Each structure stands twice: as structure tokens, then as C-alpha cells.
Amino acid sequence: MCSAGNNHRFQDLFQWPGNSPYAKFHAHISAISIFIRGSAMARHAFMKSLLLSVSVGGLLLAAVGSAQAASGDRIGESVVITNVVMADFAEKQRKLAKGDEVRQDESIEVNTDAQGEFRLDDETKLALGPGSRLVLDKFVYDSDKKAGSIVVNMMKGAFRFITGAAAKTTYVINTPNASITVRGTIFDVYILPDRSVWILLHEGALEATGKSNVCHVLERPGQLIRISDDGTVEKPVNWPQLPNNATVAFDTAFPFVTNAPAIDPNPLLTRAMIVDGAFPPSEEKACLNPHPRFGVKKASTPRKAAPPAKKTKAAQKPVKPKRTASRPKNDDDDWGNGARGMDIVIGGGGIRIPNRGNYGGGGYGGGDRPSGGLRGR
């Protein structure tokens, strides 16, 4: 049997602020803890209720620092909108203005004379140049652990990407034929009309993974990686050595170099530094966090055959069949004359049959800046 003094001391263990979301939890504990006495059955029932209440309270505590957005939930806001920038969610379009929220699974498209800048809830920053389009694919962020999963699909146009407070292995930036993983990074992406990709590093380091899971590290600011239209990731080079760099004007591909966005008003590199391309060659390094662009799905379920077309009768001249030698059966063919199963990958770049591998996570230091120290991000 509990004395009144013991009962008060017990309740003191579960004191919450008056405006706390756990006030109801405290009230429940107080109610079930008054005058606990009597039979063993009553004490047993009390302990079961107490354990259940503590379990529920623990779940509430675990949820406080975590934000897992569902489709259509707010994950950030627009910072700068110039001219017409449209958001599309569930086939419902809206014209964005400064301060408007952006949502998970929402597509954002910028007119050819427009520009948009955005800040996600983990302080990730994005700038979209004229004619660009992306999809805010996934946003799961735990502010206490700085962990989660943030996925952005860049579909076309020019972009600047600045990582936020989340752990850098959290980010995956998809392009039509490759993926980018980052470490404390500022970089620009340009997707050409033929779906090849140019990546320009401003700060930190990144990894690009493409065809056959081939991955290259880009860690020297001012250098670029080219990803061909078939997903081949090439080694880092300076601008003068970038293949086909004359096909698109530099200022079209990288508009935020000459016109700094509000989200990054003090750029590290100038246009002349990049175009002159006097950076020393990069040392080739192994990727620590490669991320394949497309998933693999086995074609295990055969597609249903289409119904046969209706036949119309027509007078035909009979043809005497020719005798042919019978074809011997291949004893090694377990499938007879049917098609064997195969791994199929379907993505923005078409249908591929990639090799898959297992990769471990990790991180590595970013490259040196041409002058000064790294900025804190």
C-alpha cells in the first residue's frame, strides 16, 4: 500500500510543463497512481497500465525531433521567384510566389525567362535557372541526429545545389542518366537537350555514379565532370578540356556563376577562373558512397498476351506446303523455345541491363578552395 507522501514523490517523476504535449500523459499517470493498494490483482493491473503509458510516452519522445514528410506535405519554401514558376502536385498546378510552401512529390518548372530559389526545411538550398524542371522526390529528416533521406530529381535545365544541415550521405540528386551523392557541397548541374549532364563543383566534394555503376569523385573546385547521354561518367577535367563545351554557351549552362543567386550571394569562383581552367589535375580516388541511378526489377511475371485480332474470310488460292526437315530440340534449353528471364532497368535514359553491386557508406574530405578556407555550411 502506498502512503500519500510516496504517491506524491511518484508523481513528481512525471512532471511536464503545462504547455507540453505530454500533459495528457502526466494526467493519466496521476489518475492511475492515486491510492494504489488492495489486492495483488489490483497492483498487477496498475503495473500493466503504467508500462503501457511509459511506452506511449517513449514513442512521443522519439517523434519530436523527426520529420518524415508524406506525399503532398510541406518540405520547404520559395525564397526568390522571378517571373513565372509553376508547381504541380497530383496534376493540380499553382503559380508560385515568394514565401509559398513547396511539397514532397511536387514538380517545379521554371519558364524560359524565369528563375526560382528555394530553401528546404533542413536548410538545403536550390536555385533553378530558366527552363528548368525538378521533382522534390523524398524528404525524411531527423533534426536531432542530422539524418534522414533527401532525394531530388533534376529533369532538365540549370541548377545550383547547396547542402543543408543533414548528414551528407543523406542526399541523392538524380539526373536522367546518373546520380550524385555529396559531402558539404556547393555545385551546379546542367542537363543538355541530348540528356547528357555537366557538373561544376564550387565547394566540397561529390560522387557521380552512372552506367554499369561506374563512379568518379569530383573534389577540386572549378573542375567539371561530364556524364554522356548513355550514362557514362567521365573523369574530372577543366572547362577547356570538357568534351563538346562549345555546343552550349557557358552562361546558359551555368547562369549562377555570373549572376549570383540570393541563396549564395558570395560565390567562390569567378567566370574567368572556370573558363580559363588553370586548375591542376585531380588525383583519382575511389568513391565511398556510390549510388546507382536506377533500381533493378526482374521480369518474373510474363505480360498478358493481347487478344487475337478478328479474322475476315477471303478467297485464297490453296498453296501446297513444302516439306522441311524437323528441327532437333536443344536438350540444354530448359525453356524450350521461350524467352529466358532477364534483369530490366527502366529509367529516364531508356532501358538498361546494369551490373549491380553492394556499396558501403562513408565520407571523405572535400577539395581545397583556390583561395581562402572553406565556408561553413
Q: Could you list the mean pLDDT of each consecutive 10-residue stretch along the chain, which spans 377 residues?
A: 46 44 44 43 54 44 56 96 98 97 97 98 96 95 80 98 86 95 93 97 96 94 97 97 96 98 95 95 90 50 43 53 48 39 33 39 44 41
Are 238 and 224 contacting, i.e. CB atoms less than 8 angstroms apart?
yes
What pLDDT score was predicted for residue 317? 56
In a domain, residue 361? The reply is no
Contact 226, 232 (CB under 8 A): no
- Domain assignment present for residue 149? The answer is yes
Same domain, 42 and 188: no
* Angstrom distances, CA of residue 224 to CA of 109, 139, 153, 263: 25, 28, 20, 22
Whether 112 maps to a domain, the answer reads yes
- Domain residues for the domain of 222 are 68-276
* 3-class SS shares of the chain: helix, strand, coil, % to 5: 20, 30, 50
**Is residue 307 in some structural domain?**
no
Whether this prediction's pTM lies above 0.75 is answered by no
Domain count, the chain: 2
| The pLDDT of residue 147 | 77
Q: Is residue 363 part of a domain?
A: no
Look up residue 102 and give its DSSP letter: E
pLDDT at 318: 56
Residue 126 and residue 186 in one domain? yes
The residues with which 18 forms a beta bridge, in sequence order, are none
- What would the DSSP string read from start to end of 217-250? EE-STT-EEEE-TT-PBPPPB-GGGSTTTTSS-H
Contact indicator for 237, 200 with CB cutoff of 8 Å:
no
Q: How far is CA 207 from CA 71, 230, 236, in A?
A: 28, 18, 11
Please indicate, yes or no, whether residues 31 and 134 belong to a single structural domain of this protein: no
Q: Are residues 110 and 183 in the same domain?
A: yes
Q: What is the pLDDT of residue 197?
A: 98
Which class for 328: exposed (0-12), middle (13-18), buried (19 or more C-beta within 10 A)?
Answer: exposed
Angle between helices 23-32 and 40-64 (to 10 degrees): 170
Phi, psi of 171 (to 5 degrees): -90, 140
CA end-to-end distance (rounded Å), the chain: 58
Same domain, 44 and 106: no
Question: Both 77 and 54 in a single domain?
Answer: no
Tell me which of 18, 48, 64 is where a domain ends. Answer: 64
Give the cell for residue 56: 506511449
Do 81 and 205 sit in the same domain of this protein? yes
- Residue-level pLDDT at 67: 59
